[in-house]
Amino acid sequence: MEKKLKIALIILIVLLIVIIGFIGVYSKDLISYDSALPDYILSSELTGKRVTYFKIDDASEDKIYDKDGNEVEEIPEDANEEDYTTESVKINPEENLTKENYKKSKEIFEGRLKDLGIEYYDVRLNENTGEMVVELEDNVITDTVLQYLLAKGDFSFTDSEDGTVLLERSDLKDVSVVYGNDETGAVIIYLDIKFTDEGAKKLEEVSRNYLKLEESDENTTDSESTTENEQKQVTMSIEGTEFLTSYFAEVMTTGELTIAVGSGTDDATIYQYSTQAQVYAMLLNNDEMPLTYTIASTEYMTSNIDTNTFYIIIGVVAGLALILVVYMIIRFRLNGAICSIAFISAIAMLLIMIRYTSTTISIGGIMAMLVLMAFDAYFMTKILKSIKENPSLENVSFVTYGAYLQKLDLIIVLLIIAVVFTFMPQVQIFSIGMTLFYGIVSLIIANLVFMRAMLVSKYNGSRS
The torsion angle over the Cα atoms of residues 125, 128, 130 and 133, rounded to 10 degrees, is -30
**If pLDDT is split at 50, 70 and 90, which confidence band does 96 have?**
very high
If you ran DSSP here, which 8-state letter would residue 213 be given? P
**If pLDDT is split at 50, 70 and 90, which confidence band does 221 have?**
very low
For 307-317, how does the pLDDT look when each residue is reduced to its tens digit (9 = 90+)?
A: 677 778 888 88
> Is the confidence at residue 362, as pLDDT, over 90?
no
What pLDDT sits at residue 425? 65
CB-based contacts of 125: which residues, under 8 Å, 6+ apart?
102, 103, 105, 106, 131, 132
**If pLDDT is split at 50, 70 and 90, which confidence band does 462 have?**
low
What pLDDT sits at residue 282? 93
* Sheet strands (E) in 169-217: 172-181, 187-195
What pLDDT sits at residue 255? 92
What average pLDDT does this structure show over 344-368? 87
Closest CA to 149 of 114, 120, 175, 194: 114
What pLDDT sits at residue 225? 40
CA distance 232 to 209: 8
For 182-208, how does the pLDDT look when each residue is reduced to its tens digit (9 = 90+)?
A: 888 889 999 999 999 999 999 999 999
What average pLDDT does this structure show over 396-421? 86
Q: In this predicted model, which residue has the larger pLDDT, 407 or 196?
A: 196
**If pLDDT is split at 50, 70 and 90, which confidence band does 223 have?**
very low
What pLDDT sits at residue 89? 83
What pLDDT sits at residue 30? 54
What pLDDT sits at residue 31? 55
Q: In this predicted model, which residue has the larger pLDDT, 268 or 226?
A: 268
Residue ranges covered by each domain of the chain: 2-31+34-38+303-463, 49-216+229-301
**If pLDDT is split at 50, 70 and 90, which confidence band does 215 have?**
low
What pLDDT sits at residue 294? 95
Over the chain, what is the mean pLDDT? 84
For 9-19, how does the pLDDT look when each residue is reduced to its tens digit (9 = 90+)?
A: 888 888 888 88
What average pLDDT does this structure show over 222-244? 72
What average pLDDT does this structure show over 280-307? 86
> Is the confidence at residue 341, as pLDDT, over 80?
yes
Task: Pick the most confident of 14-28, 304-318, 360-374.
Answer: 360-374
> Is the confidence at residue 1, as pLDDT, over 70?
no
> Is the confidence at residue 293, as pLDDT, over 90?
yes
> Is the confidence at residue 392, as pLDDT, over 60?
yes
What average pLDDT does this structure show over 164-187? 89
What pLDDT sits at residue 2? 67
% of residues, the chain, pLDDT over 90: 28
What pLDDT sits at residue 149? 94
> Is the confidence at residue 239, as pLDDT, over 90?
no
What pLDDT sits at residue 227? 42
> Is the confidence at residue 100, as pLDDT, over 90?
yes
DSSP 294-359: EEEEEEEE--SS-HHHHHHHHHHHHHHHHHHHHHHHHHHHHHHHHHHHHHHHHHHHHHHHHHHTTP
Our CA angle for 11, 17, 22, nearest 5°, is: 125
* Separation of CA 279 from chain center: 13
The CATH code that applies to domain 2-31+34-38+303-463 is: 1.20.1640.10
The model's pTM is: 0.60
What average pLDDT does this structure show over 92-118? 93
> Is the confidence at residue 404, as pLDDT, over 80?
yes
**Contact call for residues 187 and 151 (beta carbons, < 8 A):** no
For 132-146, how does the pLDDT look when each residue is reduced to its tens digit (9 = 90+)?
A: 999 888 777 888 999
Torsions phi, psi for 299 (to 5 deg): -120, 140
